[in-house]
């Protein structure tokens, strides 16, 4: 029964990990850019939620996710429009990667300077301590809701990209960025919208994680590592692959801790290494 409980909790943790990788997979799938500042986006979401709750204490904690996501979208849109589009236009894969690396360093040190290096957390209130019975096992209600939210967000994004005009424009821009200009589409504007969505997902995930664990301005490195592993295990550019990668990573981490309490995330990292060696295309084989 303990192993079943570990499996269930690993899947619940994996739902949050999958959200970490969703924005990263989206940006890579459309712009072929590895955003090395993605971890700092996640931490920014945690800080945004922390201060919004302090300013608007009468608003329920769960409802504060909406303004955090909106702030994330605006931040990502402006960042792409003002900075990253210039690097993407150069056509060199390395240039945007180096730029986002520099951006991650700037954001990390800026948060330390403005907000300090103290650990913080968001109090989830009664929702954070509530539990429910699942297959005879008591599990936290909050992780279950996060897994459900992750599935809903993945399904919504997939539907938008496959069934809407905006999705068709995004997919066309991803495959033929020069050709869509002949149809009156500006790839730069599409990239702004995509980066806005990616930042919204990242900051929303950061806010959710802040209700489960402590965070500091230096937490972005660990968050970025998780997001990167999720995307690689799932398959580059594959959204449902990222979902599967997050679930597998969460299960591997908790099973490893069950086997060895001092292991931390070691077994999850070993799974990542094994994926690179034996199945470098990931679980989804590179499918979108």
* Residue 248 within any structural domain of the chain: yes
Return all residues near 135 (Cβ < 8 A) that are at least 6 apart.
4, 8
Strand partners for 133: 138
First-residue to last-residue Cα distance in the chain: 37
* Residue 44 within any structural domain of the chain: yes
Tokens standing for residue 8: 């269930």
Q: What is the pLDDT of residue 191?
A: 95
Q: Look at 3 and 219; give whichever has higher pLDDT.
A: 219
Please calculate the CA angle 14-62-196 and round it to the nearest 5 degrees. 70
Give the number of residues written for the chain.
288
Q: What is the pLDDT of residue 1?
A: 67
Q: What is the pLDDT of residue 61?
A: 86
Encode burial over 239-278: b for 16+ CB neighbours within 10 A, e otherwise: bbbbbbbbbbbbbbbbbbbbeeeebebebbbebbeebeee
DSSP 215: B
pTM: 0.91
Q: Look at 80 and 177; give whichever has higher pLDDT.
A: 80
CB-based contact 86:187 (threshold 8 Å):
no
CATH number, domain containing residue 230 = 1.10.3470
Q: What is the pLDDT of residue 130?
A: 79
Strand partners for 134: 137
pLDDT one-digit tens code per residue, 94-130: 889 999 999 999 999 999 999 998 999 888 777 777 7
* Residue 83 within any structural domain of the chain: yes
* Residue 178 within any structural domain of the chain: yes
Give the Cα separation of 79 and 104 in Å (integer): 12
Give the Cα separation of 209 and 206 in Å (integer): 5
| pLDDT confidence bin for 170, thresholds 50/70/90 | very high
Three-state SS for 120? strand
pLDDT one-digit tens code per residue, 196-234: 999 999 999 999 989 888 999 999 999 999 999 999 998
Neighbours of 230 (CB within 10 A): 31
Q: Tell me: pLDDT of 79 over 90.
A: yes
Q: How far is CA 36 from the centre of its chain?
A: 12
Q: Tell me: pLDDT of 287 over 50.
A: no
Express as a percent the part of the chain with pLDDT over 90.
51
* Residue 285 within any structural domain of the chain: no
Largest CA distance in the chain: 60
* Residue 172 within any structural domain of the chain: yes
Mean pLDDT, residues 2-29 taken together: 88
Strand partners for 139: 132
* DSSP string for 124-162: -THHHH-EEEETTEEEEHHHHHHHHHHHHHHHHHHHHHH
| pLDDT confidence bin for 285, thresholds 50/70/90 | low
Mean pLDDT, residues 139-147 taken together: 84
Closest to 33 in 3D by CA, of 104, 112, 87:
87
As for how many domains the chain has, the answer is: 1
Express as a percent the part of the chain with pLDDT over 70.
97
CB-based contact 251:14 (threshold 8 Å):
yes
Print the domain residue range for 141: 2-278
């Amino acid at each position: 029964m303990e192993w079943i409980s570990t499996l269930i909790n690993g899947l619940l943790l994996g739902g949050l990990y999958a959200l970490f990788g969703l924005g990263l997979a989206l940006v890579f799938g459309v712009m072929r850019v590895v955003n090395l500042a993605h971890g700092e986006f996640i931490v920014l979401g945690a800080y945004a939620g922390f201060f919004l709750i302090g300013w608007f204490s009468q608003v329920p904690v769960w409802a504060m996710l909406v303004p955090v996501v909106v702030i994330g979208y605006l931040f990502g849109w402006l960042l792409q429009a003002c900075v990253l589009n210039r690097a993407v236009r150069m056509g060199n894969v390395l240039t945007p990667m180096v730029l986002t690396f520099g951006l991650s360093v700037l954001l990390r040190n800026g948060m330390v300077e403005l907000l300090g290096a103290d650990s913080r957390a968001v109090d989830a209130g009664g929702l954070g301590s509530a539990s429910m019975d699942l297959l005879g096992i008591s599990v936290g209600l909050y992780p279950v809701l996060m897994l459900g939210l992750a599935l809903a967000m993945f399904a919504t994004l997939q539907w938008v990209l496959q069934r809407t005009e905006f999705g068709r424009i995004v997919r066309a821009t991803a495959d033929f960025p020069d050709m869509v200009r002949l149809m009156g589409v500006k790839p730069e504007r599409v990239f702004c919208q995509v980066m806005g969505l990616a930042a919204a997902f990242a900051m929303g995930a950061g806010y959710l994680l802040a209700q489960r664990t402590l965070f500091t301005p230096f937490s972005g490195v660990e968050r970025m590592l998780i997001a990167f592993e999720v995307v690689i295990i799932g398959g580059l550019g594959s959204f449902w692959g990222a979902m599967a990668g997050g679930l597998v990573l969460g299960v591997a981490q908790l099973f490893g801790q069950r086997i060895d309490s001092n292991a931390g995330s070691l077994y999850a990292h070993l799974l990542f290494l094994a994926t690179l060696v034996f199945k470098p295309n990931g679980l989804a084989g590179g499918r979108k």
